[in-house]
Amino acid sequence: MKPLVTLVLAVWLLLPGAAGAAGMKLTSRDLASAEFRPPFLYMGLGCTGGNFSPSLAWSDAPAATRSFAITLYDPDAPTGSGWWHWVVYDIPAGVRGLATGAGAPSGLLLPRGAHQARNDYGAPGFGGPCPPAGDKPHRYVFTLYALDVPTLGLTANASAALIGLNLHAHAIAAASLVIYHGRP
């Protein structure tokens, strides 16, 4: 049985992007306390945040990375399909982070060539957390994807679901950061 395990491990390590993929890291100095503070919460629907996207930084991407994408998704939203708070794609391979506020609808703080999709609030860019009052704390999952293509080649009005389909088709590695948030 050990030779089979060794063979499977050897084949996996030879797959494009597999070596080093487990080591990719995603962090945020703005979320170091593992909680969303008011500047990063949504402004509206009973929430009183500043709706600024937090800073994000990443390291140890596979050498084969040709671009990155980042999503922020709430799988606990009471919609039956979760809630997309942010989708950024076509981030150039040489970029290693996004500044606080990069998710502004204007996209002016995004790296050249990067694009933002419309979030589930119906606006382009970042839409901060705003779970229903009294609901249990929700999981907010930031996911960084290392992709094998320089661009997804999608139109500006592509949906988060279509972008997600393309992300999964081209991902060679991923790293996530999960932050919990609820409101009384």
Domain-wise residue ranges, the chain: 17-181
Question: What pLDDT is stored for residue 35 in this prediction?
Answer: 86
- pTM of this structure: 0.86
Q: Tokens 């708070």 belong to which residue?
A: 85
* 184 residues of the chain, pLDDT tens digit each: 333 332 222 333 333 334 344 599 999 999 988 889 999 999 999 999 999 999 999 999 999 999 999 999 999 999 999 999 999 999 999 999 999 999 999 999 999 999 999 999 999 999 999 999 999 999 999 999 999 999 999 988 899 999 999 999 999 999 999 999 998 8
As a whole number, the mean pLDDT across the chain is 89
Per-residue pLDDT tens digits for 72-109: 999 999 999 999 999 999 999 999 999 999 999 999 99
Question: Alpha-carbon distance 139 to 119, whole Å?
Answer: 17
Q: Which CATH number fits domain 17-181: 3.90.280.10, 3.30.2320.30, 3.40.50.300, 1.10.10.10?
A: 3.90.280.10
Question: What pLDDT is stored for residue 13 in this prediction?
Answer: 32
The distance from CA 58 to its chain's CA centroid, rounded to whole angstroms, is 11
Question: What pLDDT is stored for residue 50 in this prediction?
Answer: 96
The distance from CA 10 to its chain's CA centroid, rounded to whole angstroms, is 30
In the chain, at which residue ranges do the beta strands (DSSP E only) sit? Answer: 25-27, 43-44, 47-48, 56-59, 67-74, 83-92, 97-98, 115-116, 138-147, 171-181
Question: Alpha-carbon distance 128 to 54, whole Å?
Answer: 9
